[in-house]
Structure 1
Amino acid sequence: ILPPASVSNRLSAYLYKIEHDPKGHKRSFLKIIDGSLRLRDVVRINDSEKFIKIKNLKTIYQGREINVDEVGANDIAIVEDIEDFRIGDYLGAKPCLIQGLSHQHPALKSSVRPNKPEERSKVISALNTLWIEDPSLSFSINSYSDELEISLYGLTQKEIIQTLLEERFSVKVHFDEIKTIYKERPIKKVNKIIQIEVPPNPYWATIGLTLEPLPLGAGLQIESDISYGYLNHSFQNAVFEGIRMSCQSGLHGWEVTDLKVTFTQAEYYSPVSTPADFRQLTPYVFRLALQQSGVDILEP
């Protein structure tokens, strides 16, 4: 339970809940930590460059929702149809409570399939709506198998998702076998270079990557030793995209994590080389480096 906030003129509000009404309107619930939120206010989201205008405003009074012009500290504000909102967002000053929040990652995953294959897009849309309402729901499309995969905390969550999809979105699905989510981590520091115009490299690019393990929990770090004066941002960003994509599936098909990848060598031929050459070559270099290093399998 949060302690009462001290009142000041500076708004600080935390978005803790999202729901959709029967007509599909998105309803966002905010705890006003400090200051106040007023109708027609224009406020910043998460200290970003994104602003929203409060076009409607409600609060909860004596157990029911009422329209108001202002909601003050320690009360709940309800606004509708703000598509940019996500749970965990804040308005105005960053609330102190966010610093203490932690997130435990799910340890299981399963592929989900609609009983009717033609309803796949309907399942994706429904899952996206559920994710907006509860960001702990993690789903993705496997870039290799094209399967729709959901990360799970347990069997109960799977049953809840299955029921919600059927009763709320009118789509029946079945889940494949539930598997434990492992991760992979390089064993040792390695360097791998693939040269331009050296078979079997079909791309107009030279790429050198260094992989090295980091302490558990460090995640992925990407660095570049290549100056932007030699290789511009679009080419280097293509390499970074290729690295992130490569980390989605390691030697055993699990996410690769807790490593630093350094872009160490580059060569291109102007004007034939393109960012796409670098983006497409990167996963090949990364995988060869990972094979050279070997991996440890990390359990949840």
Structure 2
Amino acid sequence: MELNDSKHIRNIGIFAHVDAGKTTTTEQILYHSGRIRSLGSVDAGTAQTDFLEVERSRGISVRAAATRFSWQGATINLVDTPGHVDFLSEVERSLRVMDGAVLIISAVEGVQAQTEVIWHALRERSIPTLIYVNKMDRIGADPLGTLQQIRRLLSPQAAPVQAPFGVEDSFGGAVSLLGEEAGDSEETKAYLQLLEETVAERESLLLLHYLDCGALPKEELKQMLLSLTREGELFPVLFGASNRGIGIEPLMQAMVTLLPPPSTVTDGPVSGVVFRIERDPAMGRIAYVRLYSGVIRNRDSVRNESQQIEEKVTQIRKIDGQKAEDVGLLAAGDIAAVCGWNQARIGDIIGCAKYVPGETRLAVPLLTVQVRWNNEAEYPAVVAALHELADEDPLLDLQWLQEQRELHLKVMGPIQIEVLTHVLHNRYGLKAEFGEPSVIYKETPAQTGEGFIAYTMPKPCWAILRFHIEPGERGSGITFRSIVRPERLLERYQNEVARSVPEALQQGLFGWEVTDLKVTLVEGEHHVWHTHPLDFAVAAPMGIMDGLSRIGVKLLEPMLSFRLSVPEETGGKLMNELILMRGEFDSPVVRQERMEIEGMLPVATSLAFPARFGSLTKGRGVLSTFFAGYRECPPDVKAERVRRGVNPLDQSRYILSVRKALAGT
């Protein structure tokens, strides 16, 4: 392939709620494209893209897996992402490097919680998306009902490009609505009408033609379908049964023809992003890179902009599940695994940042767990192993309290804890246990006020700072600015303060991260002889904590928005449960002997609710939950966590600690 031949490349992610059939669909695609000779099975643990031992034993995907196949002259980089909410961070990282997406929805379960989360993220990034309705052969499959639900809950611009024939045991595939063989059955006509109406609504001249003639010319319909899909303004819906291989080739055809090639800058500077890290027994750390501009070759020294370092490429590999080949070159628009970058981390910008899209934040770990080890001699190995795993998933945010000999991780949920236990045992031969998960709270200023610090003793040092601190809007994070004139406080010292403030706010009065506030540096002073730049890195946390101790803080707790549907007779019992959990909800809506309730729940009170929900509804309820941000806790809720290091409020001890003069430091 020529360097500038990116029009023959597709970078496509496969997304879905857990158990909708992503990995089975990927397996069938690899088989039909000739990439693998025999089909693997998720249930038997032989799927090509489930290569971790825990994935094979559990039958779920926990890591995004990159594979590659060719179809009708195009090369497709396909990323099979996990569907379980506990591994949303893998989905988040994959979204950043995709040019197109296939969203798989079960024809039986329909649109589920994770489906909606992923859909909103795809729309936020305007990623062209195909919707594939799978499991058409299962009992309870309802193609028209699923299509209506997709149009109601996801987008009215979702339109069928196929009409299925048969359903459940009699499902025999789907016929294209764009070909002459579509037929004229009443059901096919209904699907075609939906497609034509959706396309016609996007263009006034077409709409007039449709209203006059009652139909659209096939060629114009095809042309509009292609351009609207690639622009992310229309979402073609296809039907299939992946476990039987039905509907796979039409889906592959749609991936090649309807989803766009990458937009690239071939003659620009190197610009790319690391979206995944793996470890290879022979090659060490492997960085998966999506390149947007330029070319990287074996033995090139490439700048890591995020870390301000240069590292040499030892090998560039194209990865197919567990197989890899050294290709020696990565060109703009493509994805490959780069060996030799031992310092690379997930999210690092390679070369320049100019052409790299921003991040989408989906995964917010709401729980923290403490790691315990059985054998004291294994303590250093457990620390090293968790550091390595946190490199692969930065959201684990390993906190190592050396003084207390404690390790804490942030996690998304219980399945992730189970997987971490598995990985520690299988990869590192370590037996570790995890404590009960506890909720991650945050803090925010209770009112407006000031913090002050005059760090002038013991000499040599001199840093005087005054901060104005005020509450910000919920969800606004941290805003910092300085109104101090450079002649009072040199710009390089002000930069040191700006860098130190977010670090100082990692732990507030109760040990939680402080957020949703505005910090303004209103006064600053340095000394010509006595000041060292690091004095301001020492002084800033003391000034910030002084301010927080004066004005006080409020606790914030994570909230979930929920939607549930239960048989009408169990609705009263469910509402009592929701009230006991401090839930808030709108008036229930009754539809066809089922009660639907929407509202908000604190994470802290509802940790065990999903497990109890099944028994409360005798398995007939449907529950969807989404992270809905942080909200102020009621006054009676108290939560404190152990502080890492010395509290800057204890100024004498804190200064000795950062100067390494405290006993034991």
Q: Give TM-score scaled by structure 2 length.
A: 0.39
1:223 aligns with 2:481: yes
Larger radius of gyration: 2
1:9 aligns with 2:9: no
Aligned counterpart, 1:263: 521
Aligned counterpart, 2:316: 57
Q: Quote how far apart the aligned CAs of 1:250 are.
A: 1.7
- Helix, strand or coil for the counterpart of 2:344? coil
Q: What do the CA deviations read for 1:16-36 (whole angstroms, capped 9, x no partner)?
A: 332112346112233455665
AA in 2 matched with 1:230:
R
Q: What do the CA deviations read for 1:68-107 (whole angstroms, capped 9, x no partner)?
A: 2334466542221211322233545658773363242200
Q: Quote how far apart the aligned CAs of 1:41 are.
A: 3.7
Is the contact between residue 411 and residue 417 of structure 2 (CA under 8 Å) also seen in structure 1?
Answer: yes
Q: What do the CA deviations read for 1:32-76 (whole angstroms, capped 9, x no partner)?
A: 556654334444434875444333222247984222233446654
Q: Take 1:71 and 1:215, find their aligned partners in 2: how far apart are those partners?
A: 44
Q: Select which of 370, 390, 405 maps to 1:131.
A: 390
Q: Select which of 158, 161, 171 maps to 2:430.
A: 171
Higher helix share: 2
- Helix, strand or coil for the counterpart of 2:398? strand
1:102 aligns with 2:361: yes
Once the two structures are superposed, the pairs formed by residues 37-186 of structure 1 within 5 Å of their partners are: 37-46=296-305, 50-60=309-319, 64-72=323-331, 75-92=334-351, 98-99=357-358, 101-142=360-401, 147-186=406-445
Q: Take 1:268 and 1:68, find their aligned partners in 2: how far apart are those partners?
A: 55
- Helix, strand or coil for the counterpart of 2:371? strand
AA in 1 matched with 2:383:
I
- Identity percentage of aligned residues: 31
Structure showing greater relative contact order (alpha-carbon pairs closer than 8 Å, 6 or more residues apart): 1
Q: Answer with 172-181 or 186-195: which moved more.
A: 186-195
Is the contact between residue 14 and residue 95 of structure 1 (CA under 8 Å) also seen in structure 2?
Answer: no
Q: Quote how far apart the aligned CAs of 1:263 are.
A: 2.7
Q: What do the CA deviations read for 1:131-187 (whole angstroms, capped 9, x no partner)?
A: 222233221235885632200100111121122122211222222331101111112
The number of residue pairs the alignment matches comes to: 296
Q: Quote how far apart the aligned CAs of 1:277 are.
A: 6.0
Q: Select which of 165, 173, 193 maps to 2:452.
A: 193
- Helix, strand or coil for the counterpart of 2:520? strand
- Helix, strand or coil for the counterpart of 1:121? helix
- Helix, strand or coil for the counterpart of 1:9? coil
Is the contact between residue 47 and residue 92 of structure 1 (CA under 8 Å) also seen in structure 2?
Answer: no
Structure 2 unaligned residues grouped into runs of 5+: 1-11, 13-98, 100-259, 559-665
Q: Answer with 8-17 or 21-30: which moved more.
A: 8-17
Aligned counterpart, 2:506: 248
- Helix, strand or coil for the counterpart of 2:394? coil
- Helix, strand or coil for the counterpart of 2:338? strand
Relative distance call for 1:191 and 1:7 in structure 2 (3 A) is closer
Q: Take 1:89 and 1:266, find their aligned partners in 2: how far apart are those partners?
A: 34
- Helix, strand or coil for the counterpart of 1:254? coil
Relative distance call for 1:227 and 1:119 in structure 2 (3 A) is farther
Q: Quote how far apart the aligned CAs of 1:268 are.
A: 6.2
1:30 aligns with 2:289: yes
Structure 1 unaligned residues grouped into runs of 5+: none
Is the contact between residue 59 and residue 71 of structure 1 (CA under 8 Å) also seen in structure 2?
Answer: no
Higher strand share: 1
AA in 1 matched with 2:364:
H
Q: What do the CA deviations read for 1:219-264 (whole angstroms, capped 9, x no partner)?
A: 2233333344334467556655664443122222211111122233
Is the contact between residue 196 and residue 267 of structure 1 (CA under 8 Å) also seen in structure 2?
Answer: no
Relative distance call for 1:245 and 1:46 in structure 2 (3 A) is closer
Q: Take 2:529 and 2:309, find their aligned partners in 1: how far apart are those partners?
A: 38
Q: What do the CA deviations read for 1:252-295 (whole angstroms, capped 9, x no partner)?
A: 22111111222333456775666666555544443342233232
Relative distance call for 1:116 and 1:154 in structure 2 (3 A) is same
Q: CA RMSD in A?
A: 3.7
